[in-house]
Chain A
Amino acid sequence: MEWEAVIGLEIHAQLATKSKIFSGASTAFGAAPNTQACAVDLALPGTLPVFNGEALRMAVMFGVAIDAEIGRKSVFDRKNYFYPDLPKGYQTSQLFHPIVGPGHVDIELKDGTHKRIGVTRAHLEEDAGKSLHDQFPGMSGIDLNRAGTPLLEIVSEPDLRSAEEAVAYVKKLHAIVTTLGICDGDMSQGSFRCDCNVSVRPKGQEEFGTRTETKNINSFRFIEKAIKGEIERQIDLIEDGGRVEQATRLYDAEKDETRSMRSKEEANDYRYFPCPDLLPIVINDDYIDQVRDSLPELPDARHARFMEQFGLGDYDAGVLSAYRNLADYFETVAQVGGDAKLAANWVMGELSKFLNSNDLDIDDSPVKAEALGQLLLRLKDDTINGNAAKQVFEAMWNGEGDADQIIEAKGLKQVTDSGAIEAMVDEVIANATPQVEQYKAAEPEKRGKMLGFFMGQVMKASKGTANPGQVNKLLKGKLDALCD
């Protein structure tokens, strides 16, 4: 039987506010335990929440960016459950009147087509603290620094049909929230995490199968693996005559499998009700228009502009526009270097290679965008050739100075003096009798390839500084003359 997967995702994006959603405690990551948990976060008697306006603005930014309905009136509700890292005994969230209503994002599939994915809603809520179970024998340690950090929970429609589509959707949302600057997007620190609802049904069947929810997956790769594994598990189960149980599952990255965390029988009854400690949030059209006017250029728009303005291909434009910092970097290089295609090649080629092998982000690149642009200028005005440019780049990466300093210090200036090049060419030909004989003996159409050896020798003799075009022309002329 042919099966079809149905996937819906819930993404929790930590909003990049300075202070918490309902208190003035800091949200900075990595502080000593409980040093950023104030009386409100600890739910001490007599405290009351005061809502952070910046969390509201960020949520509205997201809503506007995905073309969603914005709740003119949204209300906080209490989601009641007991767990030690939730001191109030309830999480303040939004169930009935979320700040962001239905919207959508478009994802690009491997075959180049686009698919529109519905976003059901996005609501504001507070994060819980952290429980550490391995610290003390028989006891759990509770760190409430994270308690009260603002989250935007983004709920998709069950529109996704494969792990690949799910990852494309998550990446698109990640690009949007980081471009908006409302979330740092750091998945390894839990700033952006994903719960996956997965079910399968025979292809063509209208109604959904029983779904499972896999919680808190924190990398793009794990999302893909967890969903693929869960789809296979459910299909195997049904084909072997079993039934999928509605359950919450945990993804174990080490074993690459999901396992049951709790079944529906033990499912929580959250008894949501409007939070009496907080008043309804009311915003008007002016507020929404102001937020809309403040939006930066979004990844899709930048993608289209890179193709149109710079003549980049679809793929290159997509890669370079997905992240704001990378896109900004590229645009600066293109502007300073005066050649967008060359800039794209260098940013996606040499720079990416160095960043990846050193496990660095674009922000941490020791070669800044202006500096790379200066290097490309020297390549464009023929001061250096491509080979030398790579040497200069490596030296810049190692902090040896700017492009001009390095070109000077290493003597990499391209030799375009035809007399000097001719002398080197003559010397190489004179010292390579066997190769010259082979060249002469070869069929004329095969000689082109054999030129490579001589090119290499001359470039070596010039320490990479000879103008390759000139060398090629001189070599060919002289060698072909020998053949006549």
Chain B
Amino acid sequence: MSLDRSDVEKIAHLARLQIDEADIPEYTQNLSNILDLVDQMQAVDTSSVEPMDHPTDAVQRLRIDEVSEENQRDKLQSVSPAVDLGLFQVPKVIE
């Protein structure tokens, strides 16, 4: 299976990645290679193997429902470029 240029542009847009026009052919080739490898693996008969949900065969441990976090707003917001009235500020977004 091989991707074309528009697939790569769409993937980049969905991931909000800005990519160089000149690099698109290379990305297209690399990503197509990955899919080719997956295609190759499809050839293996896995009909008798139950799919795994996670690479480790462990199950989720459960946390007790307790509030264990204190307010650390000042510390956490110290790395933010713009903060006012306790709110993180971002360029205006309205859909």
Contact = CB atoms under 8 A, between A and B. Distances in A.
Interface of A: 17-19, 23-26, 32-39, 42, 44, 50-56, 73, 75, 80, 82-84, 97, 131-133, 135-136, 138-144, 261-262, 269, 271, 274, 276, 278-282
B90 A84 contact: yes
Interface in B80-95: 82, 84-95
A80 B76 CA distance: 24
A26 B87 CA distance: 18
A33 B85 contact: yes
Contacts of A36: 69, 71
A35 B86 contact: yes
Interface of B: 10, 14, 16, 53-56, 58-69, 71-73, 76-77, 82, 84-95
Contacts of B87: 33-34, 132, 135, 141-143
Contacts of B63: 19, 24, 50-53
Most buried by A among B10, B16, B67: B67
Contacts of A23: 69
Contacts of A55: 65
A262 B95 CA distance: 8
Contact of B65 (A33, A42, A54, A279): A54
B92 A274 contact: no
Contacts of A274: 53-54
Contact of B89 (A24, A53, A142): A142
Contacts of B71: 35-36
Contacts of B94: 133, 140
A271 to B, nearest CB: 7
Contact of B91 (A80, A138, A279): A138
Contacts of A261: 95
A143 B93 CA distance: 14
A42 B76 contact: yes
Most buried by A among B55, B71, B82: B71
Nearest to B84: A136
B86 A33 contact: yes
Nearest to A132: B87
Nearest to B10: A269
A18 B67 CA distance: 6
Contacts of B59: 279-282
A282 B58 CA distance: 10
A56 B77 CA distance: 31
Nearest to B88: A142
Nearest to B62: A53
A83 B93 contact: yes
Nearest to A22: B63
B76 A141 contact: no
Nearest to B76: A42
B51 to A, nearest CB: 10
A82 B13 CA distance: 11
A35 B69 CA distance: 10
Contacts of B95: 261-262
Contacts of A133: 92-94
B89 A80 contact: no
Contacts of B55: 276
B89 A141 contact: yes
Given A24-B66, A138-B92, A141-B84, 8 more contacts: A18-B65, A34-B76, A51-B61, A53-B62, A55-B65, A140-B94, A276-B55, A280-B60
7 contacts: A18-B66, A34-B77, A82-B16, A84-B88, A131-B93, A133-B92, A279-B56
B86 A32 contact: yes
A396 B59 CA distance: 56
Most buried by B among A38, A82, A138, A274: A38
Nearest to B70: A38
B70 to A, nearest CB: 8
A28 to B, nearest CB: 8
Most buried by B among A23, A32, A142, A271: A142
A269 B14 contact: yes
Contacts of B56: 279
Contacts of B67: 18-19, 24-26
Nearest to A248: B95
Contacts of A33: 85-87
B65 A19 contact: yes
A301 B75 CA distance: 51
B92 A280 contact: no
Contacts of A141: 84-85, 87-89
A404 B88 CA distance: 58
A140 B88 CA distance: 8
A84 B60 contact: no
Nearest to A28: B67
A38 B86 contact: no
A39 B18 CA distance: 27
Most buried by B among A18, A75, A132, A136: A136
A140 B90 contact: yes
A132 B10 CA distance: 29
Contacts of A50: 61, 63
Contacts of B91: 138-140
Most buried by B among A52, A80, A139: A139
Nearest to A271: B14
